[in-house]
Homo-oligomer: A and B are copies of this chain.
Amino acid sequence: MLKKQQRLSLLASAMLATAAGSVIASDTTAAKGTVADWLAQSSATDWRELDADNTLYLELPGGRVIIELASGFAPKHISNIKALVREGFYQNIPIVRMQDNYVVQWNEPDGATPKTLTQAKRSIAAEFSVKLPANFAFTPLSDHDGYAPQTGHVNGFAMAMDPASNSGWLTHCYGAVGIARGNETDSGSGTSMYVVTGHAPRHLDRNITLVGTVRQGMELLSTLPRGQGAMGFYASADQYTVIKDISLAADLPATHRTPLQVLRTDTATFKGVVEAQRNRGGEWYQHPAGYIEVCNVRVPVRDTPQQSQ
């Protein structure tokens, strides 16, 4: 029998946890088991490497934030971001804003002489949504969404779509990465970018161009001091965190890359993971939700397994 003290410790550790083991019946027949069960049973082909041609490394003093770009959704902006990367634009660009429960943002500091660009542009036409191609590997969620006719995933990215117009867009979930803009819809280009660090501000969907999502290192952004100015802007430059640089994984030698995999979202394993989050089993849950909202689906990421010899 556990001593009281040990029991208390276990209670604390079990809090909010899903114990592996018994599974509460699902409202669908698609899946049984916990997320951990599904991942333990996954096969190598359920995972893909991050796309080096569309992976950004944002280098902060505290470490590396890894962003994967969803090239199908904002091709013009993503092309411009790569141009900015290759011109060295992001070297020493500061984080100028951190608004609690909302966004972190970087751009050239107030009062500094704007950097000279060669190929990259400072204005790109909005890519708030795109026409979906015919061969689109969409994995829909069966769950009703208030902000869009349909939500789901493609290639590891949360998205929404409107079947009536066959248009799709990335959703403003935690970790979503976007292009800051002013009132003019073409006033963004990637010289100023933001990451969602709070409860999903889905009202921004289709109002601003999203380009991808953070795959690793969110805590390097989410722990930054909150700006005390209006809208979370820092009141003075000495409060900035300076980005050393943003680089493209494909431009670096393999030894300088971070090998990461994301679960393929067009697999039975992913459907199982979603169902395990929709109706959580184990001994702790008393009331499975029977529902999941797109931004509560956590798309699994893992270190690339070492090759066996």
Contact = CB atoms under 8 A, between A and B. Distances in A.
Interface of A: 4-5, 8-17, 19, 96-97, 100-103, 105, 107-108, 110-114, 128, 143-147, 173-175, 180-183, 185, 187-188, 191-192, 194, 198-208, 218-219, 222-226, 230-231, 233, 277, 280, 283-289, 291-293, 295-296
Contacts of A277: 203
Given A100-B222, A223-B226, A295-B199, A147 B180 contact: no
A291 B202 CA distance: 10
Contacts of A203: 277, 280, 288-289, 292, 296
A161 to B, nearest CB: 14
B218 A199 contact: no
A284 B11 contact: no
B180 A12 contact: yes
A224 B225 CA distance: 10
A108 B112 CA distance: 49
A232 to B, nearest CB: 10
B16 A231 contact: yes
B219 A100 contact: yes
A294 to B, nearest CB: 10
Contact of A185 (B111, B225, B286): B286
24 contacts: A9-B110, A12-B96, A12-B110, A13-B230, A15-B105, A15-B181, A16-B180, A16-B204, A19-B183, A100-B219, A101-B218, A128-B286, A144-B144, A146-B291, A146-B292, A173-B199, A183-B284, A198-B198, A198-B199, A199-B296, A206-B286, A207-B286, A223-B225, A293-B293
Given A12-B180, A15-B182, A113 B293 contact: no
Contacts of A102: 16
B113 A233 contact: no
Kindly report how many copies of this chain are found in the complex they form together: 2
Contacts of A13: 230-231, 233
Contacts of A9: 110-111
Given A4-B114, A10-B182, 5 more contacts: A101-B222, A146-B292, A183-B283, A201-B296, A223-B225
Contacts of A208: 16
Contacts of A207: 284-287
Contacts of A114: 4-5, 8
A182 B14 contact: yes
Given A13-B231, A202-B293, A218 B19 contact: no
A289 B17 contact: no
A202 B289 contact: yes
A259 B227 CA distance: 23
List the 4 shortest-distance A-B pairs measured between CB atoms, nearest first.
A11-B182, A15-B180, A203-B289, A219-B226
Contacts of A295: 199
Nearest to A289: B203
A187 B284 CA distance: 11
